[in-house]
Amino acid sequence: MTGDARLPVGVLTGSLGSGKTTLLRQWLQDSPAAETAVLINEFGAVGLDHLLVGRIDADTVLLDNGCICCAIRGELKEALWRLHQRRERGELPAFQRVLIETTGLAAPGPVIATLIGDAQLRQVFRPAHVATVVDALHAATHAQRPEWQAQVAAADRLYLSKTDLARPQDAEALRAQLARLNPLAVLGNSRQALPAWQEQPVQESNWLARAIAGTPRSRKGQEPHGSIQAFCLELDGPVDWCALTLWLTWLLHRHGERVLRLKGLVAVAAEGWPQGQPTVLHGMGHLMHAPEHLAEWPGGDGRSRLVFIASGLNGQQVDDSWQSFQRFFAQDNGAQPGAAPGPAAFH
């Protein structure tokens, strides 16, 4: 537990018609009274009428379990800040969490970027999870769209809907495909309850075990298969924090649009930590979350790993980049101030 008093924000996403609203209804019915605030893009288009008991104002309604539901009119930052201010003034119930439902054509990246990139919002809110609903009946069609790929890659939890309408062999093949595309995510079905809103850090050994089991380690000569692939980069630790952050900064500056998701558990060289201090890294696109320093290593494996979910970028390229940068960094004492590694380090 970190004792983080900020309000956790979850994101619910998925293709048009995938079943987000059905899952949202169930979550709201199961949610403790008045503890959840929901932000949706087009309130009138969401079928929650049977839950509504009274209107607070033009943008906000009170649900029958005491939770509130608000339309997003304008920028997400403004909507979140208004919600916070009204909570502080006692105009709304003292909700304990926020759930944002994106439109089916939207990638969740900009929502997360708003939460972690805005200094004002960071003081009040923290990202909790991304839940993506995947339509088992139409997944083959949806998978051709870049927003579907981004939604799957960003997910901490994947929920399969319409499995009763799809052929069993197709649903099973889809589960295997999703496990390959995003080994970081927990895979469930759309009839399951609201995800846990536990404080960070989560049990890092869980996602790490899934990632290692389902993610190939980058190897020389490895070629990409498909537009999205997941791969795991192992680092010899303990790792110099300055070198790692500088390399990641330059890598994401060059290839951020290709890095759909990045998560790592790294042994950082630190005084009093002979094996390195375990540090969790989260990234998406060009943005990185603040690092989470753990008090102890989860599980018994102390190796450093970075798991990438990328499009148009493979494990060999990233491994070559890291090895090239390490050589540059090791020679930095003799380098000119401001010198930078050559293009090969960030191809």
DSSP states along 179-232 = HHH-TTSEEEETTSPPPP-PPSS--HHHHHHHHHHHSPBP-TT----SSEEEEE
Is beta strand 7-14 parallel, antiparallel or unpaired with respect to 125-135? parallel
- DSSP class of residue 28 equals H
**86-94 long-range Cβ contacts below 8 angstroms, 24+ apart:** 87/37, 91/56, 92/37, 92/56, 92/60, 92/68, 93/34, 93/62, 93/66, 93/67, 93/68, 94/34
Distance, in Å, from the CA atom of 341 to the CA atom of 326, rounded to the nearest integer, reads 10
Burial class (CB in 10 A: 0-12, 13-18, 19+), 246: middle
Q: Would you write out the chain's pLDDT as a tens digit for each of its 347 residues?
A: 456 789 999 899 988 888 887 888 778 777 766 788 888 865 444 445 444 444 555 566 666 666 777 776 668 888 899 889 999 999 888 889 898 888 776 778 888 888 888 899 999 998 888 899 999 999 988 888 888 888 898 888 899 999 989 999 999 999 999 988 898 888 887 665 555 554 444 455 555 555 555 454 444 444 444 578 888 898 887 899 999 999 999 999 999 888 988 988 899 999 888 889 999 898 888 888 888 888 888 766 778 889 898 888 889 999 999 999 988 887 764 544 334 443 344 44
Instruction: Count CB-CB contacts under 10 A for residue 34.
Output: 17
Q: Are 154 and 181 in contact (CB under 8 A)?
A: no
Q: Judge contact between 100 and 10, C-beta under 8 A.
A: yes
Q: Name the phi and psi angles at 156, rounded to 5.
A: -90, -25
- pLDDT value of position 65: 62
Q: Give the pLDDT confidence score for residue 344 in this predicted structure.
A: 42
Tell me the C-alpha distance between 232 and 218, whole Å: 6
Cis before 201 (ω within 30): yes
Nearest-angstrom CA–CA distance, 309 and 283: 10
Residue 3: left (phi > 0), alpha (psi -120 to 50), or beta? left
Predicted TM-score (pTM) of the model is 0.75
Give the H/E segment covering residue 161: strand 157-161
Architecture of the structural domain at 5-190: 3-Layer(aba) Sandwich (3.40)
24 closest CA partner among 88, 114, 121, 102: 102
Domain with CATH 3.40.50.300 in the chain: 5-190
Structural class in CATH, domain 224-331: alpha beta
Q: Which amino acid is at 285?
A: G
- C-alpha distances in Å from residue 242, one per residue of 94, 253, 264: 41, 16, 16
User: So what's the pLDDT on residue 30?
Assistant: 73
Domain with CATH 3.30.1220.10 in the chain: 224-331
Q: Give me the residues paired with residue 37 across strands.
A: 68, 98
